[in-house]
Amino acid sequence: MSIGLIALLDDVAAIAKVAAASLDDVAAQAAKAGVKAAGVVIDDAAVTPRYVIGFSAERELPVIGKIAAGSLRNKLVILLPAALGLAFFAPWAITPLLMLGGAYLCYEGAEKVFEALLPHHAGQHEAEIGTVTLNAANAEDEKVGGAIKTDFILSAEIMAITLAAVPGSGFWTQAAVLATVGIGITAAVYGAVALIVKADDIGLALARSQARSVFGSLLRGFGRALVKGMPVFVGILGVVGTAAMIWVGGGIIVHGLESYGLPQLGHLIHDAAVAASRVVPAALTGITEWLVSAAGSGVVGLALGGLIIPVVGYGLAPAWKQIKALRAKAA
């Protein structure tokens, strides 16, 4: 074997090692970014099942498939290039956009709390801002369209959080991490949504099992438990999703303020978390500090969301209605 060929093989081996290391780096950064975006992901999984309520069983999975396809289009076709363009041309814009998305999460979360506490007033509020506009003739298209619009906001926040989690990385590494997180989260969220939506059908099928063995009896019991337990699980998931939306949004606002030289709120939350961790057993210090930090961010998020609700209801929503009316006249 010639010296030149040996050198070439060495170069190929070196390139392979670099490529493997790069893939490991992308996977590690994608996992890190995915953890940071977990709050938004939980909310996405909690919000989406409501869009298939009211459809026949055979239409549930196709509707979820349409929403998942729209979600992938949001992330990969629109948001990924936009995020990379921001990172390259206007990195200064990432923090304010993150904070804008965080404020939206606070508003959505606070609105859900408002709806839970005062459902009658919440219904009036939704009618006033124009969110209850379902057309029965095009119910599926409208619900899918509404779900994809909601997903766009949540996906934008996920991609922004991901981009902020990989600062200083090269262009292609950022692109690979964004694509990996986008595809992985979409698959995880809508795979989970499909399981949640079809769990009652699966449980019903198991409960009707005709097997006379002990195993068959266990299957029927599990099926009945699944049918009875899924509404409770979906309710818990909705509460967790709302809480996650509020504390993630509040945390984004707090960290954004710190980056603009206003660390007082962040310091207050941190000091409270540290103080709380000192009064619990050593084994619980980590979880206590995290819970208090999340609660502090949640208080900030709920307060901000509560302030935004009337701004949207009495300012932005009427203005948007006027714009739509003018556009309709012009058309």
86 φ, ψ (degrees, to nearest 5): -65, -45
Q: What angle, 0 to 180 degrees and rounded to 10, lies between the N-to-C axes of helices 3-36 and 38-47?
A: 60
Nearest 10 degrees: CA dihedral of 242, 246, 252, 253?
Answer: 150
316 φ, ψ (degrees, to nearest 5): -70, -45
Is the CB of residue 173 less than 8 Å from the CB of residue 166? yes
Is the CB of residue 45 less than 8 Å from the CB of residue 198? no
From the list 121, 2, 146, the residue with the least C-alpha distance to 63 is 146
Sequential pLDDT tens for the chain (331 residues): 444 444 444 444 443 344 344 445 555 555 555 555 555 566 556 556 665 666 666 777 888 888 889 989 998 999 999 988 888 888 888 888 888 888 988 998 898 888 888 766 655 555 555 554 444 446 677 777 777 877 787 788 778 777 777 766 677 878 888 888 888 888 888 888 888 878 877 888 888 877 777 777 888 888 888 888 877 877 787 787 788 878 888 988 998 999 899 999 999 999 999 999 999 888 888 899 988 998 999 999 999 999 998 888 888 778 877 887 787 777 6
CB atoms within 10 A of CB 91: 12
Sign, CA dihedral 193-197-200-202, equals negative
Nearest-angstrom CA–CA distance, 180 and 70: 17
- The pair of three-digit structure tokens given for residue 184, joined into one six-digit string: 């992985």
* Residue 50, pLDDT score: 60
Nearest-angstrom CA–CA distance, 43 and 197: 16
Helix (H, G, I), strand (E, B) or coil at 39: helix
Place of tokens 């701004």: 311
Amino acid code (one letter) for 114: F
Is the CB of residue 177 less than 8 Å from the CB of residue 29? yes
From the list 125, 44, 97, the residue with the least C-alpha distance to 306 is 125
From the list 312, 242, 253, the residue with the least C-alpha distance to 44 is 242
Nearest-angstrom CA–CA distance, 174 and 6: 34
* Residue 264, pLDDT score: 93
Instruction: Please return the burial class of 119, using the count of CB atoms within 10 Å of its CB with bins 0-12, 13-18 and 19+.
Output: exposed
**Tally of helices (H runs) and strands (E runs) in the chain:** 12, 0
- The pair of three-digit structure tokens given for residue 312, joined into one six-digit string: 């949207």
From the list 249, 241, 261, 251, the residue with the least C-alpha distance to 296 is 251
pTM over 0.75: no
Helix (H, G, I), strand (E, B) or coil at 260: coil
Nearest-angstrom CA–CA distance, 190 and 71: 9
